[in-house]
Structure 1
Amino acid sequence: MAVKRAYYGNEGDKDYFERVFQSANINFLIGSGASLPAIRVLGTIESDLQQLINDEMEEEYFDLAASFLTAVWLPHEYMLNRDNGLPFVPLVITNINATRENYDAFISSLEKILTRRRTGLLPRRINVFTTNYDLFIEDASTRNNNVIFNDGFSKRTNLFGDKEFDASSFNYSVSATGNLYNYKVELPTINLIKLHGSLSWKNLMDKIIYKISDVKPLRFNSQLERKEWVLAHTLILPRKEKFKETLLQNVYYDLLRTYSNELDKEATLLVVFGFSFADEHLETLTKKALRNATLKLLIFAFDEASVNGFMDKFRDYSNVEVIFRPGGNIDFPVMNNIITSYLGGAR
């Protein structure tokens, strides 16, 4: 059965996390809890949208979807310096800056883990899987020049410089060679694999390219305009069959296969934060992968109350550990410090 592991920050804890991270192929699964406080968690938005589809309430569906996407876009308008003529509320700015700092520390933590890895037998690469649509990880990567950041957009698709998404790029390794001596060093790489699409994805002539959409209008002049704005997003959201994109569905299943394949590798670690496993596809794939006896699943529980839910969900698997802090919470800054505790903590 799954195991509960209390974290106290002592030498025993540091030794444990050093052993875990130094000897594994490292993967993270990041959920909406990581983007707090800038973006509230998804909650029941997917089931609510699906219910509106089932009830054939199309107008209400697009109203709710537009409201949800507007909330997700809000911090990005600030980061992109696009206020649309309206000032940002001070609390909103404070929350956005706090979230950006958390992601900066996260990227820095991954850099530390990779650059101080002692073994040369394992790749200097970390896969970050996420169901989040937001661009906080991409934003943080622009402020860290010590790792190769790969979000799948490495292939130029036309002379305008548009970058096409290529899932096969997540298998690449980048090395540096010396000019005078015949040596080769693998450069630390972070793969960002966005399982549910991204605000930066756009379908252009049956290719997914990286493109930030224009600022959302202050108000929609018609229901049709609202509907078109929602459908312009290349995201995995509950949709009627007639609105589903074949291209996006194919990419989605390709990325799910990537997730499964990475977890099937020998000596693999999956670290989960801010993710409840409410996504049935990912829960099923993760449980199938846990048949791999060399896979270790570490779930960081926000509080002690959430531990039991994870313990029950993974009660049949002995290679699952749920990390919690007795008498305290594990938020993003705390998680960053825990995973780098053996390296002196996050910056």
Structure 2
Amino acid sequence: MADIIEIAADNEKASKIFESYIQSGNLNFLMGSGASFPAIATAGNIETEIDDLLVAGDETGASRRCLEFVEQIDTVHGQISTATAGDPIHGVVENYKLFLSIIDRILFTRKNILLPRQATVFTTNYDMFLEHASSLVPAVVLNDGFDRSSSLSPEFMFTPERFFDRTYRSGPIYGHQIEIPTINLVKLHGSLSWRRSKDSVVFDPAAIPKLNDEQRADITQVNAYLEKHFLILPNLRKFHTTIMERVYYDLLRLFSKAMDYENSVLIAFGFSFADEHILDLTRRALRNPTSQLVILSYDTASATTYQAKFTKQRNVAVLAPAAGTTIDFKRLNDLLVSILPGQPDGH
């Protein structure tokens, strides 16, 4: 059964847990809608809501609920580069910027030279907070799986094998090779920046024009708008095309494979494990006795819910805050900072 470990305000116990796994393990993160809160409301029971409509035969209602969900995220996306201090969107961008910077520093200062200086962030979020944050931290190398090799084509093609690339820098005199830290970004449910192109997926961050009230009333145009995005929508009707199904399973295989490596650690934050596919894959991946799942519970109530989902797994630790406190993104960053060399005070 998963262990629930209560962490105090000084984060000392959590820091020791993190340090042991991060310094000696293959590092992975799983981030859900809670990571982009409060800029974007958490997904909650959106999948159940839409599934209930589909089961009842209300496909129109299901499509309209999907539209509301996508439009909410798209609206935030339109403000992501202009939000100012005090705006929740700006605060979330700052959280992601610090997160990427810390992971880059952790990888760079790793003592174990046998491990790759590479971490992977898996996320089910459609938003582009991580991509935008990486553009604001020049030192961070973010690999999102798209091939940006020199080409006359304006389209960047999705190439999953890019996630296995490692980057090295050579010295000009002695030719010493040093691996440059790389952060892989694997968006398990697609992204607002993904579009279909023939039989593949391309990167296109340009926003799709929003529907006006008249278009929103026309269910044909609603469905057409949804289909222009390459998103695994939260419902039973996940796949609309063969290419979508193929890409989705490619992404899930990457997730499963990441946990197959020896001494792999998966740190889950802002993710409820309500997605049955990912929950099942995670349980199966934990059959690897050297793997470890560390879940950061937002509050004490959520901790027992997580524990109930992993009743047969012993390599799961749920870090829970003391009663009346929470583990938000700022606290996650504080925990990660505290394990950096030369940072005894966590700053």
TM exceeds 0.5?
yes
Q: How big is the alpha-carbon RMSD for the aligned residues of Structure 1 and Structure 2?
A: 2.2
Whether the 8 Å contact between 1:105 and 1:346 is mirrored in structure 2 is no
Deviates more, 1:322-331 or 1:217-226: 217-226
Assess, with a 3 A threshold, how the Cα gap between structure 1 residues 228 and 240 changes in structure 2: closer, same or farther: farther
- Aligned match of 1:122 in 100, 115, 121? 115
* 1:99 correspondence with 2:92: yes
Whether the 8 Å contact between 2:117 and 2:181 is mirrored in structure 1 is yes
Give SS of 1:214's match.
coil
- Aligned match of 2:257 in 234, 258, 261? 261
Q: Quote the offset at 1:309 in angstroms.
A: 0.8
Match of 2:337 in 1: 340
Q: Quote the offset at 1:18 in angstroms.
A: 1.9
Match of 2:20 in 1: 19
Match of 1:151 in 2: 144
Whether the 8 Å contact between 2:47 and 2:235 is mirrored in structure 1 is no
Deviates more, 1:50-59 or 1:243-252: 50-59
Q: Quote the offset at 1:44 in angstroms.
A: 1.8
* 1:48 correspondence with 2:49: yes
Assess, with a 3 A threshold, how the Cα gap between structure 1 residues 220 and 213 changes in structure 2: closer, same or farther: farther
Match of 1:206 in 2: 199
Whether the 8 Å contact between 1:31 and 1:130 is mirrored in structure 2 is yes
Match of 1:287 in 2: 283
Q: Quote the offset at 1:53 in angstroms.
A: 2.3
| C-alpha distance in structure 1 between counterparts of 2:76 and 2:28, whole Å | 27
Give SS of 2:265's match.
strand
Unaligned runs of 5+ in 1: 82-87
Whether the 8 Å contact between 2:266 and 2:293 is mirrored in structure 1 is yes
State TM-score, norm by structure 1: 0.91
| C-alpha distance in structure 2 between counterparts of 1:124 and 1:16, whole Å | 20
Assess, with a 3 A threshold, how the Cα gap between structure 1 residues 62 and 11 changes in structure 2: closer, same or farther: closer
For residues 33-61 of structure 1, the C-alpha deviation after alignment (integer angstroms, 9 at most, x for no partner) is: 10100110111222222222223323222
Q: Which amino acid aligns with 2:312?
A: D
Q: Quote the offset at 1:96 in angstroms.
A: 0.8
* 1:135 correspondence with 2:128: yes
Q: Quote the offset at 1:240 in angstroms.
A: 7.8
* 1:7 correspondence with 2:3: no
Q: Quote the offset at 1:229 in angstroms.
A: 0.8
Match of 1:66 in 2: 67
Q: Which amino acid aligns with 1:118?
A: K
| C-alpha distance in structure 2 between counterparts of 1:239 and 1:271, whole Å | 26
Give SS of 1:342's match.
coil
| C-alpha distance in structure 2 between counterparts of 1:219 and 1:52, whole Å | 22
Whether the 8 Å contact between 2:191 and 2:230 is mirrored in structure 1 is yes
Assess, with a 3 A threshold, how the Cα gap between structure 1 residues 63 and 14 changes in structure 2: closer, same or farther: closer
For residues 238-266 of structure 1, the C-alpha deviation after alignment (integer angstroms, 9 at most, x for no partner) is: 56869711111101101111111110110
Deviates more, 1:208-217 or 1:333-342: 208-217
Whether the 8 Å contact between 2:11 and 2:335 is mirrored in structure 1 is no
Q: Which amino acid aligns with 1:3?
A: D
Unaligned runs of 5+ in 2: none
Using the aligned pairs only, state the percent identity: 38
For residues 109-168 of structure 1, the C-alpha deviation after alignment (integer angstroms, 9 at most, x for no partner) is: 211211111111100000000111110000100011222110011245962321001111
| C-alpha distance in structure 2 between counterparts of 1:105 and 1:346, whole Å | 13
For residues 50-90 of structure 1, the C-alpha deviation after alignment (integer angstroms, 9 at most, x for no partner) is: 22222332322222111111111111111256xxxxxx9x9
User: How many residue pairs end up in the alignment?
Assistant: 339
Whether the 8 Å contact between 2:7 and 2:13 is mirrored in structure 1 is no
Q: Quote the offset at 1:224 in angstroms.
A: 2.3
State TM-score, norm by structure 2: 0.91
| C-alpha distance in structure 2 between counterparts of 1:27 and 1:33, whole Å | 17
Give SS of 1:312's match.
helix
| C-alpha distance in structure 2 between counterparts of 1:111 and 1:143, whole Å | 14
Q: Quote the offset at 1:6 in angstroms.
A: 2.0
Give SS of 2:271's match.
coil
| C-alpha distance in structure 2 between counterparts of 1:201 and 1:171, whole Å | 21
Whether the 8 Å contact between 2:239 and 2:245 is mirrored in structure 1 is no
